[in-house]
Amino acid sequence: MDKITIVCRASKLSLIQAELVRSKIIKLQPETDVVIRGMTSKGDRLVDLPLSSLNGMDFFTADIFQELREGKADIAVHSLKDMSSEHFFSHNAFAVIERNDHRDVAIFNENIIQKLINKQNILIGTSSPRREEMVGKFLKKALPQLHDKIEIETKPIRGNVDTRLQKLDNGDFDGIILATAGLNRLLTYGDKKGELRQLLDTKKIIILPLIECTPAPCQGMIVAEGNPDNTAICALLEKISDDLLMQTAVAEKSKARTFGSGCSQKFGVTTISTRYGEHIYAAGIDGAGNTISEWTNLPQSMAGLTHIFATNEVMKDFFDYQWSEKKHEISTNHVFVANPKIAQNRDILQSIKHKNFWAAGSKTWYDLAKAGIWVTGSTDGMGFEYLESIVKMPLIQSDLKDITILSHHTGAQRWKLKGIKAVGYYDLIAKNNEGIIKAIQEADMIFWSSYSQFKAYKRFAKTSVIHSCAGGETATLMIESGIKPIIFPTIKSFEQWRTNIQ
């Protein structure tokens, strides 16, 4: 082929995504003339209406696909989250070429803190029922609790990323919800990335967690589509497609179509990967109005589990806390709060309140919020090293060298040995609680929520007991100690698994 025409939406972000596809083709066929043409889709034309009020699907992709049918273009490029499962599974002429971060981000004007102090309602712009349902509930608990009750109001917002950010900057909204992937691409490839960076530097952001604010299926993925009747284009798309990403896309779209379809849905589906496995997670409200929280690829059921003991249910009874009076100077711009206990120490928080805070999980996040701390994001309970891919995003522009872990003394020492900055504030003193010891002695399976619990109390367990934990540092340390635990991606996934087998 001497010439290939790519068609996409006319927004800056869509043109960037088309250029990424173009570069894949040029690398494979340097002699081919690849041109990009932007056009306005139905979704772009009906900009004054919230998508949830429109009938049908594929508002941003159907018109563009029609260009292929009519022979006006050879390849169409889309954000795969905008394409319905029905269309994605209607033919095989697709290539999934890239996935950026799949989270959502909440972006707020800088006066958000004063609005919280003044007990004013917070107006969030979003046209997604999924985001409205999940993010509204989450932010009520995750924003700094500067008065007794935060009220979140949502209002439809339409337009491309630039338009939405401008509406936020104009004060039409207190905050807006966007996909991190789009911002990352604009900050990397956009012709006005410097201006965008400058604008974002005056805002406050929250990287929304995958578990509480589950993103749309295939969010962050770029898909290139051809006319299935064009065999030459189909062959080209097959060459530039990422096979593993395609498998992930099929898995997420397949899972999503079991719960409902269309722009009015209030659920998300995403892939959560740890060093120990890959899982599809779906959460929200399905098309029939049922609340869902579902994991795939969890451990199989096991016979003979009469007594399962989950230590996260009685965490306060494991240890006493002996606090150190030593003052610490933290040089990094970011801190990672590894334990809710740190979040409950107001003196420590006051001394570092100007830092960027990251939380180990939702419990720690909410405790920090109760102390009036702004939290930028979390690792969803999957371990500190899971944070690396988040902070390296262009949206954050950092790395693990600029983060200090806040923990207990033993935990901090372990991290330092790995070359990670860490500070210990207290020692753990085992209570040897009789109720806990009895539960451990009787247990056929124990889910340990921390390695410190395991190390202090493992001697009370039966030799036949099955050990289990989440897939973060606890799993790593248990394996290093010679134990082969059953590993779950998160505490919540373990809780679902236990409910299903009992």
If DSSP codes are grouped into helix, strand and coil, which group holds residue 359? strand
Same domain? 337 vs 422 = yes
Q: At what angle do helices 193-200 and 180-189 cross, to 10 degrees?
A: 130
pTM of the model: 0.93
Same domain? 425 vs 466 = no
The answer to whether position 309 is within a domain reads: yes
The answer to whether position 276 is within a domain reads: no
The domain boundary residue, chosen from 429, 453, 472 = 429
- For residue 175, is pLDDT > 60? yes
What is the largest distance, in Å, between two alpha-carbon atoms of the chain? 78
- Residue 434 confidence class, pLDDT cut points 50, 70, 90: very high
Same domain? 439 vs 497 = yes
The answer to whether position 330 is within a domain reads: yes
Same domain? 406 vs 477 = no
Percent of the chain with pLDDT over 70: 96
Number of domains in the chain: 4
Residues 436-451, mean pLDDT to the nearest whole number? 97
Q: Which stretches within 38-111 are classed as H helix?
A: 42-45, 62-69, 85-88
Q: What is the CA radius of gyration of the chain?
A: 24
Residue that the structure tokens 């190390």 belong to: 455
Same domain? 435 vs 423 = no
In this predicted model, what pLDDT tens digit does every residue of 222-256 receive, in sequence order?
999 999 999 999 999 999 999 999 999 999 999 99
In this predicted model, what pLDDT tens digit does every residue of 92-128 receive, in sequence order?
999 999 999 999 999 999 999 999 999 999 999 998 9
Same domain? 88 vs 69 = yes
E strands within 16-159?
33-39, 75-79, 94-99, 104-108, 122-125, 152-155
Shortest CA distance to 469 belongs to which of 481, 493, 485?
485
Same domain? 412 vs 452 = no
Same domain? 199 vs 112 = yes
Shortest CA distance to 263 belongs to which of 163, 161, 130?
130
Which domain covers residue 156, as residue numbers? 104-207
Neighbours of 27 (CB within 10 A): 9
Same domain? 65 vs 113 = no
Identity of the residue numbered 352: I
Contact (Cβ atoms closer than 8 angstroms) between residue 176 and residue 203: no
